[in-house]
Amino acid sequence: MTDTPPLSLKVPQPECRPGDTPDFSGIEIPAAGTVRRPAVDEQAEAMRDLAFTIIRVMDDEGAAQGDWAGSLTDDEIAQGLRDMMTLRIYDNRMMTAQRQGKTSFYMQHLGEEAISCAFQRALQKGDMNFPTYRQAGLLIASGYPMETMMCQVFSNEADPLHGRQLPVMYSSKEHGYFTISGNLATQYIQAVGWSMASAIKGDTKIAASWIGDGSTSENDFHAALVFASTYTAPVVLNVVNNQWAISTFQGIARGGAHTFASRGHGFGIPSLRVDGNDYLAVHAVAKWAVERARRNLGPTLIEHVTYRAGGHSTSDDPSAYRPKSESEAWPLGDPIDRVKKYLIGKGVWTEERHKQAEAEITDRVIECQKRAEAIGTLNSGHVPSPRDMFEDVYAEMPPHLVRQRHEVGY
């Protein structure tokens, strides 16, 4: 006999649900510039503190502060602002296009633009991202043609993936963007393997892996950390903690750990937590981690703390599971507004110039969209031929597929 009361199952719950007042008081936010920047070769054990804080550069007044500031020139930051604005405007156009039936599905980045746009600027040509579906800023910032992105979203005849993939599951070897799986987390370990290959060959290329807070629960995440740790792989392991995995709050994946960054500690991997809505901080931390990888010092785990201000996808309605006003209460602000404020504060940007840039970018995006739509959209009939569905299953089409293709009439 035991004298303890009966057991009961404890299921974590978010701070608030629809109808509640949003509450982010549980997130401890240090002032910008107060978190130290260790040397890139500092031992993981000596920087455990960095997994329990948030590295921030831009303060509330828009000024850059502390050791992590200064990784970019003001011109580069202005370019970063344009990248983020481009991504947001592109998203808006594609969300509308989906509602107009021009495509089946879309996923936007609202509130998370800084992460992928800034990270890409820390990479070099030849490096490879293994992205999830919410890092299209990697493509935008690497100069990938927007018209081609749209052709993929519209699954038209110019879609380089021949209509085989869901919208937004882009792929570009040349632009360092690995084909998106759509199965969560699978690519995380592949990035580690890819970076190991670079090390085996004695090359200088590094890999960057991407995962969301929810899918860190997958075995692939843990396998990736073991392999990265064991072989000192030249890889940057990004966790984008946007608080929500569809309707499931991040606590369901995080469990009893205080942060996702601290997952790296058991593997001896240097692990940092960064303000994901701070373009300057994301870039500085990315640059630091990329330098570690490039100098063969091994992997770095980065938790990007952000908020998914939009729905998970066009098939999702977040008002069913979280307060409508939650995104306004998000304490790290909007990534575009913050960089705009920084640049205005530095005297290199104005409200007027911002409006002008917005108009220019919108025009450019509309131009691209017109060209892409002229080629075709999912509902216009100008989609790839059924013949294409039999190609690329194997390098050489085996007889049984040739027979099946003939049966379809090709």
Partner 1 sequence: MTQMTMIAAIQNAHDLAMARDENVVVFGEDVGYFGGVFRCTAGLQQKYGSSRCFDAPISELGIVGAGIGMAAYGLKPVVEVQFADYMYPAYDQIVSEAARLRYRSGGEFTCPIVVRMPTGGGIWGGQTHSQSPEALFTHVAGLKTVIPSNPQDAKGLLLAAIADPDPVIFLEPKRLYNGPFDGHHDRPVRPWKTHPLGEVDPGYYEVPLGKAAVVRAGQELSIVTYGTMVHVAIAAAEETGIDAEVIDLRTLIPLDTETVMASVQKTGRCLVLHEATLTSGFGAELAAQIQAECFYHLEAPVLRVAGWDTPYPHAQEWAYFPGPDRVGRNMLKLMEA
Cβ-contact 212, 239 below 8 angstroms: yes
Residue 201 sits in the site that holds partner 1 (CB under 8 A): yes
Residue 392 sits in the site that holds partner 1 (CB under 8 A): yes
Q: Which residue among 25, 100, 124, 183 contacts partner 1 (CB under 8 A)? A: 183
Amino acid at site 132 = T
Q: Which bin fits 155, alpha (ψ -120 to 50), beta or left (φ > 0)?
A: left
Largest CA distance in the chain: 77
Q: How far is Cα 290 from Cα 342, in angstroms, rounded to an integer?
A: 25
Q: CA neighbours within 13 Å on the CB side: how many for 223?
A: 12
Residue 193 sits in the site that holds partner 1 (CB under 8 A): yes
Amino acid at site 352 = E
Q: CA neighbours within 13 Å on the CB side: how many for 31?
A: 5
Least CB distance from residue 371 to partner 1, whole Å?
20
Pick the stretch among 9-17, 155-163, 277-285, 347-355 that binds partner 1 (CB under 8 A). 155-163
Token pair for residue 90? 């592109």
Residue 208 sits in the site that holds partner 1 (CB under 8 A): no
Cβ-contact 111, 308 below 8 angstroms: yes
Q: Which residue among 43, 49, 96, 164 contacts partner 1 (CB under 8 A)? A: 164
Q: What SS3 state is found at 59?
A: coil
Least CB distance from residue 193 to partner 1, whole Å?
3
Site for partner 1 in 343-372 (CB under 8 A): none
Residue 125 sits in the site that holds partner 1 (CB under 8 A): no
Q: What is the DSSP letter of 55?
A: B
Least CB distance from residue 318 to partner 1, whole Å?
27
Least CB distance from residue 290 to partner 1, whole Å?
18
Token pair 């979280």 is found at: 322
Least CB distance from residue 232 to partner 1, whole Å?
12
Least CB distance from residue 73 to partner 1, whole Å?
33
| Number of residues in contact with partner 1 under rule CB under 8 A | 47
Residues that bind partner 1 (CB under 8 A): 128, 130, 160-162, 164-165, 169, 171-173, 178-179, 181, 183, 186-201, 207, 219-220, 223-224, 226-227, 230, 391-395, 398-400
